[in-house]
Amino acid sequence: MPITPALAWIDVALAPTAIAVYCLAALLAVSAGLALALLWRVHVERTRLARGRRQLAQQQAYAQALLDSLPFPVTVKDRDGAYLMLNAASRRDIRIDADAIGRTSLALPDHGPFEIEGAQPTRQRLHQSSLAVVEAGQGRQCEIAYTGGDGSHRAGLWWDCPVRVDDRGVVGSLGVLLDVTRFQQREQAARAAEQSLLEIAHHVPVLVFTVSLDAGGRRRLLFLAGDLRALFGLAPQDLVEAGDALRDWPFGDRIHPEDKSRVRRLLIRARRDASVHTLDFRAYGEEGLRWLHLVMAPRALPDGSVHWSGYFIDTTGINAHNEALRAARDAAERASKAKADFLATMSHEIRTPMNGVIGMLELLRHTRLDAEQQELLHAVEDSAGVLLQVLNDVLDFSKLEAGDLRLDDAPFDLRTLVDNVVGMMATHMHKKGLRIQVAVDAALAGQLVGDSVRIRQILLNLLNNAGKFTDSGSVSVGVRVIGDDGGSQRVRLSVADTGIGIAADKQVNLFTPFSQAESWTTRRYGGSGLGLAICRHLIQLMDGSIKLTSEPGAGTTVTVELRLPVERRDVERPPGLAGRHAIVRLAAPAVAAALADHLLALGLTVEQVPPAQPLRSGLAANLLFVDRDDETSPPLVAAQAIAVDADAAALGAPQVEGERIQLGANPLKWRSVARACEMGLAPLSPRPRSFHGPAPAAAEPARGQGRGRILVAEDHPVSQTLVRRQLELLGWPCDVVGDGHEAYEALRQGRYAMLMTDCQMPRMDGYELASSWRRHEAETGSFTRLPIVAMTASALDGEGRRCRDAGMDDYLDKPVQLHQLAEKIAAWMPEQVQPQRPSAGVPPVAADRLFDDPAMQALKADLLRTLRETGHADLLRLGQAIDDDDAQAAAQWLHRLLGALQLFCDDELLAEGRQWLEILQAGGEPDVLRRLPPYLDDLRQLLDRLDQPAASLPAG
């Protein structure tokens, strides 16, 4: 076989020994090589081992650092529960030292940091927990209490988790302690709060709840505290079905039947409306019916559900208390009302005969009296007037106190009102030698809205005081517009005098009832001390203010401020004045300014040229107002001159004296200025009849010596006779008709200067008559507006408004008094107020012999006869109406009967009758007709008494 060249030398050169040597050497060399390689290998492994150890140590250190960086204790244990690792927090917070490594917690002293919780020492529990975790391969947790590193008591949550290695399974456990002290404290606080809420709710009569309503409409009761049984007679489980699902309408059966629908409505509303809802209702509690007050508010949550939180509180006690208070208040109010009613009734009862007395005195004045009798009469009249004023004040005050006085707002003309009031007071003031000045702002609207009767009363009162407490000098009435917002004007009314004044310390109490500045005031000046108190009350009702400034010896000024809505800006004025030019040349600046204001309001342009200033030559105007004694100015100006007399007492209309028109300025009345302008601008044409437009020739009264006739619509024969005779006394011819229909026909056929109508009449009543006639006027485009004055026996509030609404201009209270009748006629036909003799067509009644005259006795006897005839017939018809169960007819006949009877007597029986009438008219009491007959008997007796000789009757 071929030998390889490399071994060939062995064959050739070496002997077997040598071969052995060679082999040995070779072996040695190989061994040495292997040993070297081994050594190298060992070196390499050692190096790697050292590096591995270093890395391990580093990793351990890193792992330890990681553990140490955790702020809570972490322990790592082996399967037997011996500690493998601990972090810094373990040493710090639960004080398990490093020497615990390799030992179980059982081996550690048990008085360590852990507290004892429950029966078992904590360390033992922890040890068992870690063994159990390894065993089950599942984590577990438990709460522990321990003392922290700072010695404080802490609450902890101990977590044990198994440590799993892939191929070896669970090799140990990891323990973590979380400090939950803060959470626990909060929870405890919350729990304590809840507990105290529960306790509070249990001890006070409230029921606090939270209910949730989810998007699907399911309701759950989240919270409930309080005495459910006391409030609703229920137990908490009665409210819920399964779990905490709230039953539908859980309190339903417990709510008072009358309140159920309100509670339901609230709940329905509360679902839509996110505001706080409250409700008072009654529910049946354990001990009976309770009053509950519910307050609840919704809170919408992001998941679409709504939480309702709220409470029910038992207000039965409070309600009972309130009820008692209310009853006490009502009783007090009733008492006060009774007092006010008593005062009102008393003053009303006294007022009626007083009116009779004053009326009779008035008539007496027209009889023939000697000087002494006249003086005595004057004194009696004075006292009667004062007494009536006191009665009126007491009546008003008691009404105000009782809250019975209501304002009756309607459009009115403040200029006319001031005119009338000043006119009423002027005579009295002139008698005392006082001058009266009036100034009304040109900016004042033509018609404002307010209670003109009350404003007039206030103004009268102030003027009356001014007149009373001023012995010389003047009294000034001013109206200024101090604000205007387009819809309403703020008006300042002022009454200033130059009288005795009031000391500062006395001014304070003047607005309190029954107070006067000085005790001697009553003795010397009379008065009740109620006037200013009433004014203040009334002004307060109108939301206005009143102020008094005064200085002893220098005089007093009272200002009243009112805000009144504007009804119409335009001032009612005679046609043909607008755009005319007037020159005012008067020495007294106040009079000149007041006149200029009136002229501006009448639509004229005004130029003031005081007498000190020379007149420009060629000056022209429509009207020139000069002082009475100024003879030089009129020839210099091409204008109709009107002489103004600022001193002489002026009341009547302007007069024509030669070429000049005379206008009185004491006081400077609005209507007089308007009339003077009219006269000045059309000196030759017939004087227009009224502000409502120039009267065409046909508008002149058809009969009655140029004064026209008055139409009276009145159904009752007695009242008919009375009014007819009163008008005769005043010199007015009249036609009397029995109902609205007849009146309407009469108005259509004849021309009347005025209509006076009863309100309640058969067929067509006064209201309907007035509104029909106003319609007629509108339809026919009548130039004149017929003054319509109602005669009403209804003392009801709002009667004035009802009359006005029907188109009437004014009303008179029944029984109609002569002087009131005269006043109304004067107010509505001012151009015809001058007394005139009666017309030829009427039997002349000599006014000066009236009272003694048999004519007056005849009137009284006439009236009585008529009453006797009609009264019994009316009673029969009234009885018939009762039998027919016809309340309306009964009211009508009773009204008629009372209307007539009140002329002769005004006793309780009539007062009772008025109450029956009110009940009948209100139609509210079903058996009223059955209760009436006894009253009818009383009336019959009264009528019988009237049958006795007239001498035994009350004055009538």
Binding site for ligand ADP (CB under 6 A): 465-466, 469, 497, 499-502, 510, 516-518, 521, 527-533, 556
Whole-number minimum distance, CB 558 to ligand ADP, in Å? 7
Distance CA(50)–CA(350), nearest Å, equals 133
Q: Which of 618, 621, 568, 624 is nearest to 595 (CA)?
A: 624
Whole-number minimum distance, CB 384 to ligand ADP, in Å? 16
Nearer to ligand ADP, 133 or 394 (CB): 394
Nearer to ligand ADP, 517 or 808 (CB): 517
Whole-number minimum distance, CB 616 to ligand ADP, in Å? 44
- Report CA 535 to chain centroid distance, whole Å: 22
Strand partners, 565: 488
Strand partners, 295: 278, 311
Whole-number minimum distance, CB 310 to ligand ADP, in Å? 55
Longest dimension (CA), the chain: 207
Whole-number minimum distance, CB 528 to ligand ADP, in Å? 5
Whole-number minimum distance, CB 510 to ligand ADP, in Å? 4
Whole-number minimum distance, CB 425 to ligand ADP, in Å? 13
Q: How many CB atoms lie within 10 A of CB 548?
A: 18
Q: How many CB atoms lie within 10 A of CB 1?
A: 2
Contacts 24+ apart (CB under 8 A), 770-778: 770/803, 770/806, 770/807, 770/808, 771/806, 771/807, 772/740, 772/744, 773/744, 773/747, 773/807, 774/807, 776/744, 776/747, 776/748
Here the tokens at position 198 are 């529960």
Residue with tokens 């709940």: 267
Q: Which of 305, 309, 253, 310 is nearest to 283 (CA)?
A: 253
Reduce the DSSP state of residue 863 to 3 states and report it: helix
Question: By the 8 A CB rule, do 78 and 84 touch?
Answer: yes
Distance CA(903)–CA(671), nearest Å, equals 36
Whole-number minimum distance, CB 527 to ligand ADP, in Å? 3
Distance CA(253)–CA(415), nearest Å, equals 68
Whole-number minimum distance, CB 521 to ligand ADP, in Å? 4
Reduce the DSSP state of residue 483 to 3 states and report it: strand
Contacts 24+ apart (CB under 8 A), 168-174: 169/137, 170/79, 170/134, 170/137, 171/78, 171/79, 172/76, 172/77, 172/78, 172/79, 172/84, 172/134, 173/76, 173/77, 173/81, 173/130, 173/133, 173/134, 174/74, 174/75, 174/76, 174/77
Whole-number minimum distance, CB 262 to ligand ADP, in Å? 50
Whole-number minimum distance, CB 542 to ligand ADP, in Å? 18
Distance CA(765)–CA(715), nearest Å, equals 10
Nearer to ligand ADP, 466 or 897 (CB): 466
Cβ neighbourhood burial of 507 (10 Å; 0-12, 13-18, 19+): middle
Whole-number minimum distance, CB 549 to ligand ADP, in Å? 11
Q: Which of 721, 718, 719, 766 is nearest to 744 (CA)?
A: 766
Reduce the DSSP state of residue 838 to 3 states and report it: coil
Provide, for the chain, the percentages of residues in helix, strand and coil under a 3-state DSSP scheme, each rounded to the nearest 5: 45, 20, 30
Whole-number minimum distance, CB 331 to ligand ADP, in Å? 31
Whole-number minimum distance, CB 451 to ligand ADP, in Å? 19
Nearer to ligand ADP, 188 or 512 (CB): 512
Distance CA(453)–CA(421), nearest Å, equals 11
Whole-number minimum distance, CB 561 to ligand ADP, in Å? 18
What would you report as the CA-atom Rg of the chain, rounded to the nearest whole angstrom?
55
Whole-number minimum distance, CB 535 to ligand ADP, in Å? 7
Nearer to ligand ADP, 479 or 606 (CB): 479
Nearer to ligand ADP, 94 or 405 (CB): 405
Nearer to ligand ADP, 523 or 616 (CB): 523
Residue 471 φ/ψ, nearest 5 degrees: -100, -25
Nearer to ligand ADP, 236 or 473 (CB): 473
Nearer to ligand ADP, 533 or 769 (CB): 533
Q: What is the DSSP code string of 9-31?
A: HHHHH--HHHHHHHHHHHHHHHH
Distance CA(945)–CA(885), nearest Å, equals 29
Nearer to ligand ADP, 382 or 518 (CB): 518
Task: Decide the pairing of beta strands 810-813 and 788-792.
Answer: parallel
Reduce the DSSP state of residue 372 to 3 states and report it: helix
Where would I find the H helices in 472-577?
504-507, 520-525, 531-541
Q: What is the DSSP code string of 557-580?
A: EEEEEEEEEEEE-SPP--TT-TT-
Question: By the 8 A CB rule, do 430 and 463 touch?
Answer: no
Nearer to ligand ADP, 531 or 717 (CB): 531
Whole-number minimum distance, CB 472 to ligand ADP, in Å? 13
Nearer to ligand ADP, 527 or 701 (CB): 527
Q: Which of 758, 665, 669 is nearest to 711 (CA)?
A: 758
Whole-number minimum distance, CB 691 to ligand ADP, in Å? 33
